[in-house]
Chain A
């Protein structure tokens, strides 16, 4: 069966450390992978998109990797801050699906001062 899984347990880290979130998938062949941030009671906000032929993408303190052999994406936040505390969602953009996204369940990140 097709599955997309993120760290199910909340991730607690200390301010200033690097947070690493994982997104694994099976039986999909995504063309792209997107990461979103969601705050409680709000809609997700787009952060980064990475293509299947890109190994790594960076934006300020954010870095995303995409390994189609391992079927895994890693999302890193360097020099984390309490304001980074939120739930982070990965989403697969599958070939020939017209832009439909398949979302993981999200990982809750808590950054302590």
Chain B
């Protein structure tokens, strides 16, 4: 079955560490997205990519970095510069452009030790 796989499901970070969240899709979608979700809040866009080797900052990109070397993969690194990284991180993919639903993975919950 086609879908999006995020790993790990739970991740713990020590102060000062960078951590990388994995996102892989086999839907053959060109566009991929990373969102952050905090309790009682909507999804906020961190980074998005419309095509391989290209990506743009979303609304809350500070303290995060991404790469898009392959169509199937869009890893997100939470750097030590992100002062409040505890959150639920969601990856999505879609056909690029308007009028397209996004397909989501089941998220990674990141916590600070």
Contact = CB atoms under 8 A, between A and B. Distances in A.
Interface residues of B, number: 30
Contacts of B43: 44, 89, 91, 101, 103
Contact of A98 (B4, B50, B102): B50
26 contacts: A31-B98, A31-B99, A34-B101, A41-B109, A42-B106, A42-B107, A43-B105, A46-B102, A46-B103, A49-B99, A49-B101, A51-B99, A95-B98, A98-B50, A98-B98, A99-B50, A99-B94, A99-B97, A99-B98, A99-B99, A100-B48, A100-B58, A101-B43, A103-B35, A103-B42, A105-B41
Contacts, number: 65
Interface string B87-113: 000101010111111111111010000
Interface of B: 4, 6, 31, 33, 35, 40-45, 48, 50, 58, 90, 92, 94, 96-107, 109
A89 B107 CA distance: 16
Interface residues of A, number: 25
